Amino acid sequence: MNVAAPSTLINRELSQLEFNQRVLAQARDPAVPLLERLRFLCISSSNLDEFFEIRVAGIKQMQESSPQSTSPDGLRPAQQLAAIHKRASRLVADQYDCLGSMLLPELAAAGVGLVPRGAWDEEVRSWLADFFEKEIEPVLSPLALDPARPFPRIQNKSLNFIVRLQGEDAFGREATLAIVQAPRSLPRVVPLPARAEGGQQFVLLSTIIEEFVPRLFEGMIIDECHQFRLTRNSDLFVDEEEADDLRRALEGELAHRRYGAAVRLETTTDCPAELVKILAKQFGIGAHDIYAVPSPVNLHRLSAIYDLAQRPDLKYPPFQPSLPRRLGDGPDVFAAIRQSDLLLHHPFQSFAPVVNFLRQAATDPKVLAIKQTLYRTGADSTIVDALVAAAQAGKDVTVVIELRARFDEEANIELSDRLQEAGAHVMYGVVGFKTHAKLALVARREQDGIRRYCHLGTGNYHSRTARAYTDYGLFTCAPDIGQDVHEVFLQLTSLTRKPRLNCLLQSPFDLHRAMLAKLEREAEHAAAGRPARVILKMNALVEPESIEMLYKVSQAGVQVDLIIRGVCALRPGVPGLSENIRVRSIVGRFLEHSRVFWFANDGEPEIFCSSADWMDRNFFRRVEIAFPIRRPKYKQNILRDLEAYLRDDTQAWELDQDGGYRRVAVSGAERRMAQSELMAAYTAGRPLEE
């Protein structure tokens, strides 16, 4: 079929910036607890960092290698970079306005103060001077700039200061400029001692260094001192066809990540143009790569206040995930799965059964083998603990670890060492394809033979993010799914042809084609007057051929509801093209992460959950899995969940055809919030057992 025309697509990069604007809106929302608002501000800042490190860096590389190439929406690299600078500048201005005009005053009023230099009294200054002398100065290495001492290498996203000074040092050398680098080992937020008036007060490391920087240059006159921060290209490149050892090649690249090509320079607004020009020239940065901001130059570091402030009243109230009744009857997870498939919806339902599934497998004498994919697991992973215990107990443990999980490469290399030392078989997936599928298989010898117990999920095997991300996970011992999962693992660990799967859909083979076919089927149902509807929930929608098919489905009269958390390149509501398509984004307490594909199918609904977004990389350059939901009760529950998101008029945003988002208007006196409704529903015991 034809790929969507450029004019019918929204630019991916600008859509990503719009998502960060929606995250920032949570920081401005007075209905959100105050420290949570600070956390949302920090998330928007961290997201923007990664956007420059990966997306902007990639466009810059494209501008150098192929300046006349165009994005799917028809923009050349230079046009994209100009548009990004304009939109990102507005986002950055909004971030600092939110901090300065809203969050800091409100936090101070609540007894959580960030104390600026101008507000230090003598007691605070004396304490900070002592702290600087004992805790900060010993690890600083101020570097004067002259012909014998060149400009130092600046690490990615590190805190630095450019200092203008006068005078001669002990050797009679004159200096006019120096650089002070703040090591990452230093805390960026320093709590002040408790005072009689109560409350908690904090000072930024950057402020302390600016105040006491003269102590680093005894005998010199300090004219000025300004913060700056450099963002570098952090995408790793490994030629997998040429690398004899993928792991060793990645280890070599990790050492260079801190010093990739410069893509963004942040300076404080009071930094003179002359000093900015010196920095820009040093890093090869152009005008569109410079962002002048109020202090501090790194908002993400303020997240430390969230952890340091002992104020549960300023955070979301604690939430206890529920357990399905079947799992509450006893510790035997295998017995519960044998009764029938079991679907969990995290974080509304606990992730503990997934951990217990593997822990029980590690100690059960009937378990012969465990196979699992790992993409992101986090430090001190209980999942990895269970796999190590299983290997040490003599089970045959095979783990497919994706070493190229962005920004988790080093952690994954370390956990692969731990698993190998325990005796597990560790594989690194397929050359040229990231393994993003979330699969676990336990082979257990039972009276009637070997039975395969499987877990398939939409999210990572990560206990911490399972408390903050919405995801589905399916337990099953259905023979057809078990055989499919077995075949996928054979493909990942051995040399086999493309397997014929019974019920799973797999990228890079048939997932894309199957989704297009199911969409076309809905159009055919609508044309014949049969019930037809599509609801798709995912993180991102950018693949042009899928978007073109969604336009076709809309033109056939099918109602299409898209719940897209982040990037969406489809233009909804365009007459004659997409008037039957509605796109909404939910941004709330939990990060919407589950991927669900629901098709009405003439009254016989078909539902797949998946690890895959509808992006080129997920369809064609990754190993992904979509798995069917077959129990009628679970089909009903997932549809109820989706409808809750479609009713939300509190945390929902709707996409306009021009690429902008507007907050959904309140529809009645009683506001609807999907995530709160789901917390209440699952706490009350839904889904009910059949």
Please give the Cα distance from 55 to 48 (Å, whole number): 10
Query: How does strand 559-564 pair with strand 581-586?
Result: parallel
**What token pair was written down for 115?**
């104390």
- Candidates 89, 87, 98, 95; CA nearest to 16 is 87
**What token pair was written down for 223?**
């004219």
Q: DSSP for 81-136, please give it.
A: HHHHHHHHHHHHHHHHHIIIIIIHHHHHHTTEEE--GGG--HHHHHHHHHHIIIII
Q: Which residue is catalytic, options 85, 346, 436, 455?
A: 436
The rounded Cα 196 to chain-centroid distance in angstroms is: 41
Sheet containing 177-182: order of strands:
143-144, 177-182, 159-166, 221-232, 262-268, 290-293
The answer to whether the beta carbons of residues 372 and 399 sit under 8 Å apart is yes
CB atoms within 10 A of CB 64: 10
At 455 the three-state DSSP class reads strand
Bridge partners of residue 253, in order along the sequence: none
Q: Look-up: residue for tokens 């357990």?
A: 323
Q: Assign residue 394 a region (left: φ > 0; alpha: ψ between -120 and 50; beta: otherwise).
A: left
DSSP structure class, residue 505: E
Q: Look-up: residue for tokens 């104390």?
A: 115
C-alpha angle 104-105-110 in degrees, rounded to nearest 5 = 95
Q: Look-up: residue for tokens 């992904």?
A: 624
Residue 496 burial by Cβ neighbours in a 10 Å radius (0-12, 13-18, 19+): exposed
Distances (CA, A) of 658 to 5, 581, 690: 15, 14, 46
The answer to whether the beta carbons of residues 188 and 203 sit under 8 Å apart is no
Distances (CA, A) of 8 to 20, 53, 59, 571, 658: 23, 28, 21, 6, 10
The answer to whether the beta carbons of residues 175 and 169 sit under 8 Å apart is yes
The answer to whether the beta carbons of residues 306 and 35 sit under 8 Å apart is yes
Q: DSSP for 246-291, please give it.
A: HHHHHHHHHHHHTT--EEEEEEETTS-HHHHHHHHHHHT--GGGEE
- Candidates 451, 449, 473, 513; CA nearest to 594 is 473
436 is catalytic: yes
**What token pair was written down for 269?**
């607004």
**What token pair was written down for 335?**
């017995």
Query: How does strand 342-346 pair with strand 469-476?
Result: antiparallel
Please give the Cα distance from 305 to 167 (Å, whole number): 39
Catalytic amino acids? 436
